[in-house]
Structure 1
Amino acid sequence: MNIRLNEVRKYIENHGEATVEILTELLGCSKMTVWRYLKQLEDEGSIRRVRNGAIATSLAGDTEGLYSQRMHENADAKLSIARAAIPYLVPNTSIFLDAGTTVMSLVRQLPNQHYTIVTSGANIAIELSQRSRSTVSCVGGQISSSTLSLSGPQAEAFLATVNIDTAVLAATGYSAGAGFTVGSYTENSLKRRVIQKADKVILLIDRSKLGRTLPFTFASLSDIDVVICDAPLPEDFIQAARAAGTEVLQVQPAK
């Protein structure tokens, strides 16, 4: 059996999904080779190919199932991180909310006050419209079938017209060498643009993502004003944040 093909199969089984960029980095091969592996796995019924990657067959056609799976991963930590972020969001100001399950946890904790919110999460926009007094706008662009995030030139063009008081971002990985990373180039570009536009940037990340590097870096510690993460954080991370002038807030997972 092809060892690389088996690596791809196991990665998608374990994570529920994978982008071509992540698999290219994982295998050290070309995108064309990755797409060939994905075609083989789709033919055998293991996965379903989607834009920019693939989804496990068990979750294909069930975006809610895939998203629900992520929501339950480190759920207690995400809830505590979300609660700790609320005081940084001032009513009657302009807020950008990233896509992601930790940000969704934050949305579900928002007090019933007015905010002007722009989001790159399609499902986050829907959630806010049903439970919030806020004015909610969603950036345009291409939607990811696995993360429900919007990105691309249309999204960035929309952001150019928006003034952001506070941005709440999420990351898929962090390492000392690469900084905060994601697996999608267009999502990376969108996050960079948000950082340029925002007066204050808060980053939510759970500890399981530390030490993980994905292909695209969107920020270093010095680009972020506040990092909120579940405790305990490695001492080298705390020291690096201090040197960068970044506030770090450690929280205990909710019980």
Structure 2
Amino acid sequence: MLPDKRRKEIVRKVNESDRVTVEELTEAFGVSGATIRRDLASLAEDGLIERFHGGALPAPDHNGSEGRVQDDVKNPSGKQAIAERAVEELEDGDAVFFDTGQTAMEVAKAIPDSVSLLVATNSPETAFELRESCGEVKVVGDSLRPTSDALVGPSGESYLKKTNFDLVFLETDAIHDDGSLSVSNEDEARIKSLLVDGGHRVILVADGSKLGKQSFREFATIDDIDIFITDVALDEEMRDVFERADVRMIDNQLVVS
């Protein structure tokens, strides 16, 4: 099998299985572990997969295309509904951090003119949006990850260890039934863990696609969250998980046209 075809097949297997190991891929394609590791390095650089030690995961928000993660927003009406409710939690003069992600980006777009905020983010795209409504923006992080456009790195982590925020709008790749919150990358997990520690109030903004899932690296649990805003109506089992953690739930935030 030619290398390009093999790599396309690797992407397909990763997205179908959610997680594959180098050992599984060497057996499937009959090539060496070194060859598979080179394939994974190339695919990760192109943003088609997410590597971890010994294997690969789907790239965050992968949409099934052969190219880089698309810029269009999945579930725009759900994310906009979450955002419109989330900005009701803002108060004039708040220091606010906006996590990287499409839903937090929608929150930034929905900031009302009536509030003046001190804002920070580790998303360059969100920073440009915040500049329009808030003026000066603190951009946190060292290097830009190609698959999620999140800024990560030691200087960003150092900044967050010394900084407190009135509000943090937090995103996650997955909300497991046991209450754990996880993402596919360790660098992003460290940033998110520090955001949870440094937020006076942490507001988790996540649409229904994140519920009942688990990703590679846990960074917090819902016990660390104060408010959860989502577009769908929570089922009884998931509602009970949040109630036990004493999290204020704001669900079923659907846009009515």
Verify same fold: TM over 0.5. yes
Residue 71 of structure 2 corresponds to 68
2:120 to 104, 118, 121: 118
Within 5 Å, give how 1:156-195 maps onto structure 2: 156-177=157-178, 179-195=180-196
**Cα offset, 1:27, TM superposition:** 1.2
Within 5 Å, give how 1:1-255 maps onto structure 2: 8-10=10-12, 26-29=19-22, 36-37=35-36, 39-40=38-39, 49-50=45-46, 53=51, 58-60=66-68, 66-69=69-72, 71=73, 73-112=74-113, 113-129=115-131, 131-177=132-178, 179-254=180-255, 255=257
Seen in structure 2, the aligned counterparts of structure 1 residues 234 and 11 have a Cα distance that, compared at 3 Å, is farther
Cα distance in structure 1, aligned partners of 2:179 and 2:199: 22
Cα distance in structure 2, aligned partners of 1:50 and 1:80: 32
Residue 30 of structure 2 corresponds to none
Cα distance in structure 2, aligned partners of 1:251 and 1:8: 37
SS in 2 for 1:230: coil
Cα distance in structure 1, aligned partners of 2:40 and 2:93: 50
8 A Cα contact 2:130 2:137, kept in partner: yes
Seen in structure 2, the aligned counterparts of structure 1 residues 36 and 208 have a Cα distance that, compared at 3 Å, is farther
Q: Which has the larger radius of gyration?
A: 2
Cα distance in structure 1, aligned partners of 2:25 and 2:13: 18
Residue 19 of structure 1 corresponds to none
Seen in structure 2, the aligned counterparts of structure 1 residues 229 and 40 have a Cα distance that, compared at 3 Å, is same
8 A Cα contact 1:178 1:217, kept in partner: no
Percent identity for Structure 1 against Structure 2: 24
Consecutive unaligned residues in structure 1, runs of 5 or more = 15-22, 61-65
SS in 1 for 2:86: helix
Seen in structure 2, the aligned counterparts of structure 1 residues 162 and 8 have a Cα distance that, compared at 3 Å, is same
Q: Structure 1, residues 202-246: CA drift from partner, whole Å, max 9, x if none?
A: 001111111211111111111100011112212111111111110
8 A Cα contact 1:228 1:249, kept in partner: yes
What is the total number of aligned residue pairs between the two structures? 233
Residue type matched to 1:121 in 2? S
Residue 17 of structure 1 corresponds to none
TM-score, normalisation: structure 1: 0.79
Q: Which moved more, 1:174-183 or 1:118-127?
A: 174-183
Consecutive unaligned residues in structure 2, runs of 5 or more = 27-32, 52-58
